[in-house]
């Protein structure tokens, strides 16, 4: 059986849990408490030297440590339901928007959180080395996330899901992004009607509770 190293409170592994739930894939879940710094211990470093979650360990003991890599692997083994497109263009579109949501959305929110939270004073970035906070990066993050909400709302004004007619990996990443924004009081403004309508819809899917 697959093994997922998870942290139930963190947004990144939540993306993998939702993807696995949509696919109906069973796995063993092992919690890594990031708040207590368990990812920095030697035991976990032996599993993932980068000291991040999620980590998916395959049946034959191989490890994947990035959401996109995990999604690709699972999608190859369990193609139904399709969450990463069904032809060359739709697959490319899912990858394009997933990348945009990560860089323009999730990374912007992470910059706000990691450069302002007192609990992350020396943990401004994930990984095995401590990195100091830079206040200006939090300010930049707030500007970036507002621009991203505008772009995502405009996109959703013309289609039911982020990449078209079908729910996909990009919707999972975007939903987690919207929820993560609450942590830093950077949620999309009420004026973004299409975005809020979409978020309400995808949040009602059973997998959103994974």
Is the pLDDT at 120 greater than 90, yes or no?
Answer: no
Considering the chain, what is the average pLDDT of its residues? 96
Q: What is the pTM of this model?
A: 0.94
CATH number of 2-77: 3.40.30.10
- The pairing of strands 2-6 and 27-31 is parallel
Cα(124)–Cα(92) distance, rounded to whole angstroms?
32
pLDDT of 132 reads: 86
Sole residue written with tokens 């959103």: 208
Confidence of residue 3 (pLDDT cuts 50, 70, 90): very high
Cβ 199 vs Cβ 125: under 8 Å: no
Is the pLDDT at 128 greater than 90, yes or no?
Answer: no
Give the tens place of pLDDT for each residue, 46-99. Answer: 999 999 999 999 999 999 999 999 999 999 999 999 999 999 999 999 999 999
pLDDT of 153 reads: 98
Confidence of residue 121 (pLDDT cuts 50, 70, 90): confident
CATH number of 88-209: 1.20.1050.10
Domain boundaries, the chain: 2-77, 88-209
Per the DSSP assignment, residues forming a β-bridge with 29 are 4
């Amino acid at each position: 059986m697959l093994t997922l190293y998870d942290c139930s409170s963190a947004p990144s592994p939540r993306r993998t849990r939702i993807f696995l739930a949509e696919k109906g894939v069973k796995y063993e879940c092992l919690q890594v408490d990031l708040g207590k710094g368990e990812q920095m211990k030697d035991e976990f470093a032996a599993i993932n030297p980068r000291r991040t979650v999620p980590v998916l360990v395959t049946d034959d003991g191989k490890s994947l440590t990035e959401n996109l890599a995990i999604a690709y692997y699972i999608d190859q083994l369990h193609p139904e339901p399709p969450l990463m497109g069904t032809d060359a263009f739709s697959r490319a579109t899912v990858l394009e928007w997933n990348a945009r949501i990560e860089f323009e959305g999730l990374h912007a929110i992470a910059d706000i959180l990691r450069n302002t939270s007192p609990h992350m004073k020396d943990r401004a970035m994930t990984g095995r080395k401590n990195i100091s906070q830079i206040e200006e990066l939090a300010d930049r993050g707030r500007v970036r996330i507002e621009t991203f909400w505008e772009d995502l709302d405009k996109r959703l004004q013309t289609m039911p899901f982020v990449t078209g007619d079908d729910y996909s990996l990009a919707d999972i990443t975007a939903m987690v992004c919207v929820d993560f924004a609450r942590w830093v009081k950077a949620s999309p403004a009420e004026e973004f009607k299409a975005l809020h309508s979409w978020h309400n819809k995808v949040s009602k899917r059973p997998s959103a509770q994974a």
